[in-house]
Amino acid sequence: MSIQEMLHTHPRGGADETLLRCIEECFRCAQICTSCADACLGEESVAELVPCIRTDLDCADVCVATGRIATRRTETDAALLRAMLQACADACGRCAEECERHAHHHDHCRVCAEACRRCEQACQDVLSALV
């Protein structure tokens, strides 16, 4: 079952396409950041990748929390949702920047940076729509 299918069954109504995309990007980004951190741990140069690992894990946690909050449709706290979306966009931007520093040597960092940029944009799109 997809998130979209589940949310469309909600008695308070589903989510629009922009929010659905954001929720999906948040969870996808969290998985990719977690995988990138693990891949960094497997590299010979792990000591120089510690900031990347930390940023990946922080971003993954923020993405999961944001995706979970954005998924909840009953009595949505709009101010909290805005704050989480902004925090997620910020975390994704920081993670993308860090991963881009290593992308030329580590393909997993390139993939992670791309996922973070997509999630950052998806969060910004929802923020723009909420105004």
Has residue 10 been placed in a domain? no
Instruction: Give dist(CA 123, CA 75) in Å, integer.
Output: 20
Has residue 6 been placed in a domain? no
CATH number of the CATH domain containing 80: 1.20.1270.360
- The domain tally of the chain equals 1
Q: Please report, in tens digits, the pLDDT of each residue of the chain (131 residues total).
A: 577 776 676 666 666 889 999 999 999 999 999 999 999 999 999 999 999 999 999 999 999 999 999 998 878 899 999 999 999 999 999 999 999 999 999 999 999 999 999 999 999 999 999 86
Has residue 51 been placed in a domain? yes
Has residue 11 been placed in a domain? no
Quick one: three-class SS letters along 44-104?
A: CCHHHHHHHHHHHHHHHHHHHHHHHHHHCCCCCCHHHHHHHHHHHHHHHHHHHHHHHHHCC
pLDDT at 127: 97
Has residue 81 been placed in a domain? yes
| Full domain range(s) for residue 120 | 16-130
